[in-house]
Structure 1
């Protein structure tokens, strides 16, 4: 099952992909989710990571996407990727 999403913020594209994570200490069927994030500007990948707090897992794929996008937007807003150059218009 494909569980990927894409959002835009200030010339950046934020791609998230949520996936289930199982833990042997939890009862069967009580999976949690975590999301990986790719931030792009034009066709260049600027950053590719997961949230730094890997011990915290979300109860749903939607929550994992929300947390990952919120974190990415905070990073963009603080100027972490200012050296990525100006946005380039790409026609699809």
Structure 2
């Protein structure tokens, strides 16, 4: 899984039939402290995320298997909207 912030929407009026009705969002992956890493990617959202939300995203086969009866042609799925992140630091 990855943590990121939703930075935009993607609209596609024509797409694979099995993707009809799904919402697509641009997600900027981040470190736990909010520092951006890598480049934004498109993720499917079925839980009502919006621009500015910090989200958890699953990538790969777990995303493609979100439906029990068929494998969808997606590789990123938003699975949670994050309320807060607490990271403990070791002392040195």
TM-score of the two chains, using structure 1 as the length reference: 0.29
| TM-score with structure 2 setting the length | 0.29
Higher helix share: 1
